[in-house]
Each structure stands twice: as C-alpha cells, then as structure tokens.
Amino acid sequence: MKTICPSCGAAKATAAQYAYVYCDYCGGYMDFDMQSALTFTGQMYDEKYSADCEKFHKARERAKAAGDKKAFIKIGRGLYGLQMEKSPHAWSVRIGDPSYRATLIENQSQVDALMAFDADLAHIYDVKLVEAYNGLKSAMTPSGLKYSSASVWNYFRVNYEGLVETMKKRSTWDVPIVHPDETDPRIMIKGWASAFLQGWMPYLFDAAKQQIIEYAGLESEYLKAKLPDASQRTCGKCGGPITAPPGSRQLVCEGCGYTIDVESAELPCPGCSAVLSIPVTADALSCPHCGTRYRDSGSGGHTVTYNGKTMDILDAMIEDIQRAKPPK
C-alpha cells in the first residue's frame, strides 16, 4: 500500500521525516504523518517548554474572556513560534523558509481567533464538541481499551464539521486567512482526518476504524520504497542532497524546507561551478558552497458537482458526512 498524492496521483516514495508529508513529484502537500511527529519530537519536550506553553495558553484564555482579539492573536503568534522552534518535526520541513514560517504562524493564530470569537464556531467547539467528547463510551477488552464505534463516529463527525465550517468562514474573518500549503481544501481536511485516525487507531473497534478510513480516503499507508533509478541532486538553497524519483517535477528539500525545481536542468554556480537544483520560492539566491549570488526569483474558490447539483466543495463535504450512517 502507498500514500497517493491527491494533486498529481503519484505514490509517496520516500519516508516522511516531518509531520507534514509532501509529494516527491509535484511538491504538493499530501498528508499528515502523526508517527513521524511523535518519533522526532518526543525528546524535545522538557519542563520549561511545557511551562512556557501553559503560560501562553492561560494568557489566551484571559484575552478571550476579555473579548480582546488583537491580544489573542498576538499571544498565538508567540505560542506557535515557540512550538515551531522547540518541536519543528511536528510541523513542516518548509518552516526553514522564513516566508513560509511567518505565513503558517499567522494562519494558525488567525484560525484560532476565528474559532474563539465567531459565535457559530464557538458553539461547535465549546458546546457540541464537549458534548460529543463527554459522550464517548469506552470498555476494557482483551486487546485493551476500546471506544464504542457510534460514540467515536459522533466525535469524529463533530470535529470534521467544525473544521469544514471553520474553512468556510475564513473569508468572513477580519483579515484573509491563507495556509501556505493550501490548494484544494479537501486535501487539507484529509490531513486532519489522517491525524485523527492515527491518534485513535489503537482504541477503535474495526467498524469505526474502517468507516473513518473509507470516508476520509485513507486506505493507503506510508512506506519506505526503494528508488533504484532515482537521481541525486544538490539543493540550490542549502547545498543538501536531494533524491528525485523518476518523473519528479518539484519536491520539498528535507534539509531546508524550500520547494526545489528538479524538472529543469541544474544550474552551475558562476563562482565555484557547483551544479545546483534551483528553489522555486526563494529570492536573491546565493550559492550554498561559496556564497556567490547566482539568481533572483520571484516567489479561489472551489466548486464540485454533488448529487446532480453544482455547489461549494465545503458545503458538499458537510452534506456527505451528514448522510453517512454511524457504525453499529
């Protein structure tokens, strides 16, 4: 089984090292790998880090209670900046790109504020989700603790609807909310569903497990594939090695997080003649070996036909999950 890129249809060919998984062929966001996040970040947590995060969370609670959006967002920026610094593998390798990192921090901070201060979303997360969580039913079985399929499906459904509604409401917020990886919103939601499933997998009966897998399109799993014909390139941003599968056009460098053009011919540095694959998102490029400046580069809505009518993708997703029957 292989993870398939929803943008170009290619199978994931290399092992993920960060939570955000990118395609080896088009460079697009594919999925979220909870195991990679946990494997690489477990040793990063310490008492000081936990205490610092707790201070940010309590400060945001006070700002929310006071109705202070600006303070809430500012505190969120500090929180996410700290998390990306202390546990980078729980995020994206692309946070090595300052522009990407800044956009992601702003996205996370603004989305949290939208969820906290929009009345409809606050009702979903503060009332409906709490009710669904409190409604979870568990029992000890010979294979360990398990949760009833119907109660987990309800918890998944409320989480899912909250996420979709949040994405729909982003255009109504005080400022535009843009995720630096976003293309089709279904891809972003699939990543969330993948993270949900990976966290809950050990505690699910087969009925709930299979329904969530099928509903979210997560039948495939990650694996490390052999690439006997892969070409070796050199990143034009950090100088690190890049493994490019046959047919790859763009991929994300695991060394620095920049998206690299591996479809075009490599460019020799005018200073030291090192052969480099060019980043597509960086400005004022300098050779990672000798420092010679070698190139400058510049760095909508979605509809779908559903049940015979044209409608917004997010509205269709809500209809779809509401029609789904809970597992027995």
Three-class SS of the chain: CCCECCCCCCECCCCCCCCEEECCCCCCEEEECHHHHHHHHHHHCCHHHHHHHHHHHHHHHHHHHCCCHHHHHHHHHHHHHHHHHHCHHHCCHHHHCHHHHHHHHHHHHHHHHHHHHCHHHHHHHHHHHHHHHHCCCEEEECCEEEECHHHHHHHHHHHHHHHHHHHHHHHHCCCCCCCCCCCCHHHHHHHHHHHHHHHHHHHECHHHHHHHHHHHCCCCCCCCCCCCCCEEEEECCCCCEEEECCCCCEEECCCCCCEEECCCCCEECCCCCCEEECECCCCCEECCCCCCEEECCCCCCCEEEECCEEEEHHHHHHHHHHHCCCCC
Residue 324's pLDDT is what?
A: 86
Cα→Cα distances 315→166, 178, 325, 328, Å: 12, 19, 18, 26
CA–CA separation, 197 and 212 (whole Å): 7
Residue type at position 232 = Q
- Residue 90: other Cβ atoms inside 10 A: 18
Count of beta carbons in the 10 Å neighbourhood of residue 221: 12
Residues of the chain with pLDDT under 50: 1, 297-300
